[in-house]
Amino acid sequence: MIRFDKLWVTMKEKNITTYQLREQCGIDSKTVRRLKANDNIETKTLNKLCAVLDCRLEDIAEYIKDEPTET
C-alpha cells in the first residue's frame, strides 16, 4: 500500500496548507481527500506535489507492505 503520511509532515515543515497546495498545484479538494485516505493518485499529481513542495517522491509517499489476512 502506498501511504501519504509523509506528505503532511513535509507540508508542515514547509508551512504549506492544503489550500495553498490546491491553488499552487491545481489539484481539487477531491484529490486532497484521496491523499488523506491513501487512495490511488495519478503520477502526474505526484509530480505536481513534488514540484510545488520542492521535494523528492520519498518525502511525500512510502510503500508499506500489506499484511496477509487470515482466512
What integer is the mean pLDDT of 16-41? 92
pLDDT for res 71:
63
What does the domain layout of the chain look like in residue ranges?
2-63
Return the CATH class of domain 2-63. mainly alpha
pLDDT-based confidence at residue 66 (cuts at 50, 70, 90): confident
Query: Rounded to whole angstroms, how far apart are CA atoms 4 and 21?
Result: 14
Tell me the β-bridge partners of 63: 2
Q: Is the distance from CB of 31 to CB of 41 less than 8 angstroms?
A: yes
C-alpha grid cell, residue 58: 520519498
pLDDT-based confidence at residue 25 (cuts at 50, 70, 90): confident
- Per the prediction, the chain carries an average pLDDT of 92
Taking residue 13's Cβ as centre, other Cβ atoms within 10 Å add up to 11
Q: What is the pTM of this model?
A: 0.85
C-alpha grid cell, residue 57: 517522491
